[in-house]
Structure 1
Amino acid sequence: MKQRAFKQVDVFTPNPYYGNPLAVVLDGSGLDDAAMQRFAKWTNLSETTFLLPPTDAAADYRVRIFTPGGELPFAGHPTLGSCHGWLEAGGQPRSKDFIVQECKVGLVKIRREPGTKRLAFAAPALKRSAPSPTVLAQVATALGLKASQVLAAQCLDNGPLWLGLLLDSPETVLSLAPDHKALAKLGTKIGVAARYPHEDAAPLIARANREARAFAASQPSFAPDFEVRAFAAPLGVDEDPVTGSLNASLAQWLIAEGHAPERYTASQGVCLGRAGQVHLERDAAGQVWVGGESVSCVDGSVTL
């Protein structure tokens, strides 16, 4: 074991402790899979990352991403949080335009958003398909949903696999009380979203969580277009506070099908006392970018 540089980063928030925390081991060299998995389980965060030298000459660094229950080929908030940590620790990208991350899904471009403190990643290519009616019915039952509350559904695969549901209202999203044991048995990660009529956003958020409402009031420039929740019981995480990979695949699907505009914002984490802020955009070339701010909350070393 040795001392390794370490950060704990809060992602998708401009202020500490309102986003999604990420443990970042800035030097993962020499650690085997079992050691990485053991530490990820110990941190008990939704994800823990380990930065390594790249194996692809086009990449600036390589990252391995672990949940308490296993390794992921890609995930969004670990991508932004790891990049934030790498840059803050003195990482120098080869290109002036992008930082390039290597992970199991391939190379992922990350850009600095002009005029902001946000980083944004290029969403990996999405594969999507219609879910089976049987699975959809089982998931709806586990979530406590009526069939009429589900406006659309897709199986979404951009590395992680999600079943995405577009629901009838943000109030439906915020009132869900899932049977997480049933979702774990189904082995399916679920992402739900609904679009806000903007005049209704404040009272709905207020009903869900007073603390998150108070924080949102201090951030008047952020008015969410969508409310999102992510349930990942099969990975040992009942509900994820703010989820980049899910928001990426939702945006690719919802924009393509005309359910969302080419640029929008999403709120996530309200029911957990968080106030995640996710910025989604499809550019002129059709690439979807997923952005958010990150802030370091813990900075030091870890013995591994």
Structure 2
Amino acid sequence: MTLTYETVDVFTETPFGGNPLAVVFGGEALSAERMQAIAVEFGYSETTFVLPPQDPANTARVRIFTPTREVPFAGHPNVGTATVVAWRGSLFGRPVGEAVRFEEGAGLVPIAILSEGGKPVGAQLTTPQLFRRGAPVPVADIAACLGLEATAIRTDRHPPVGGTVGLEFILVELADRAALEAARPIRAEFESRLAHLPVYDIHCYVRTGGDDVDVRARMFAPLDNIDEDPATGSANGALLGLLAELDGPAEGTMALRIAQGVEMGRPSLLLGEVDRAGGATTAIRVGGRCVAMMRGELVMP
């Protein structure tokens, strides 16, 4: 069996920036176990497998694997996969237009293709679910996991809390950029304090107030064998939902520029939008640009 693949750097317009992604085609006969093994072989935070849709009205069924598990939804895999599909121009015998629809575990993900001069340059997804808050997590546990003092964790606007738009994260506001830069994942603390919880990946952030971006963020997932992720669309989608609840307009669209990956040398820029009506969120979108990196074949026995 020979599979084709393409790799792409997502949420950047500079090679070797953003979050790398492998997109695999031709894997219809693969078992979940073999897909997981391929994801481990690539070693990226996620690898996607593009399969024929179950409903022909949709573009594809997309399965997403981290190095340790399959996940029902993730942001940078959707943005990257949609961009790669748009670059190919057709999929499963049908042309790819200005939008695609991916079937995933969390639901149907609609994605608009971003173009310049008639050429695709990236994509913008609409999250498959609206934001939902999860349970709060003790400050002491978060501080220990991040190697910080408890005073580095802000709680005046919200405690460390679970949040999801299809994949759940612990959302944590830090006191300042110095705390964000000092944070580091302490795996032993993650294992002892968070591994028993349904959510154990930490997305921490600071609001910049006058920077060239609105939010700076870092995401740590050592229990998924991802010490730090350069750009996490699903986590930032949840963060957008939370910030819209806290700061968003009653009517209209809140737009935020989110920087991630800076501290690990893979700067990323995520463009977020939240639609609001009647004081409630009606849609959350996350988008960005992509850079093509590699193409090749996987020769499978």
Relative distance call for 1:183 and 1:69 in structure 2 (3 A) is same
| Distance in structure 1 (CA, Å) of the matches to 2:84 and 2:125 | 15
| Distance in structure 2 (CA, Å) of the matches to 1:66 and 1:94 | 26
Q: Please tell me whether residue 129 in structure 1 is matched to residue 134 in structure 2.
A: yes
Q: Please tell me whether residue 230 in structure 1 is matched to residue 219 in structure 2.
A: yes
- Aligned-pair Cα RMSD in Å: 2.2
How much has 1:94 moved relative to structure 2?
7.6
Indicate the structure with greater helix content.
1
Question: Contact conserved, 2:89 with 2:96, CA < 8 A, in 1?
Answer: no
Spell out, residue by residue over 1:161-192, the C-alpha distance to the aligned partner (whole angstroms, 9 max, x if none).
Answer: 21100112222112212312321442210000
How much has 1:13 moved relative to structure 2?
0.3
| Distance in structure 2 (CA, Å) of the matches to 1:128 and 1:114 | 34
In structure 1, the residue matched to 2:285 is 289
In structure 2, the residue matched to 1:247 is 236
Give the partner amino acid of 2:259.
Answer: S
In structure 2, the residue matched to 1:207 is none
Deviates more, 1:95-104 or 1:119-128: 95-104
In structure 2, the residue matched to 1:148 is 151
In structure 2, the residue matched to 1:195 is 207
| Distance in structure 2 (CA, Å) of the matches to 1:283 and 1:104 | 24
Q: Please tell me whether residue 13 in structure 1 is matched to residue 12 in structure 2.
A: yes
Spell out, residue by residue over 1:236-272, the C-alpha distance to the aligned partner (whole angstroms, 9 max, x if none).
Answer: 1111111110010000111211179811101100111
- 1:94-105 maps to which residues of 2 (within 5 A)? 98-105=99-106
Question: Contact conserved, 2:164 with 2:235, CA < 8 A, in 1?
Answer: no
List gaps (5 residues or longer) in structure 1.
202-222
Question: Contact conserved, 1:26 with 1:85, CA < 8 A, in 2?
Answer: no
Spell out, residue by residue over 1:9-56, the C-alpha distance to the aligned partner (whole angstroms, 9 max, x if none).
Answer: 110001111110001102221011111011111111111111100012
| TM-score, scaled to structure 2 | 0.86
List gaps (5 residues or longer) in structure 2.
none
What secondary structure sits across from 2:292 in the alignment?
A: strand
Percent of residue pairs identical = 33
Deviates more, 1:151-160 or 1:73-82: 151-160
In structure 2, the residue matched to 1:26 is 25
Question: Contact conserved, 1:181 with 1:233, CA < 8 A, in 2?
Answer: no
| TM-score, scaled to structure 1 | 0.85
Relative distance call for 1:26 and 1:95 in structure 2 (3 A) is closer
How much has 1:129 moved relative to structure 2?
2.8
Equivalent of 2:122 in 118, 121, 125: 118
| Distance in structure 2 (CA, Å) of the matches to 1:239 and 1:282 | 26
In structure 1, the residue matched to 2:179 is 172
Relative distance call for 1:183 and 1:61 in structure 2 (3 A) is same
| Distance in structure 2 (CA, Å) of the matches to 1:41 and 1:176 | 26
Question: Contact conserved, 1:154 with 1:165, CA < 8 A, in 2?
Answer: yes
In structure 1, the residue matched to 2:295 is 299
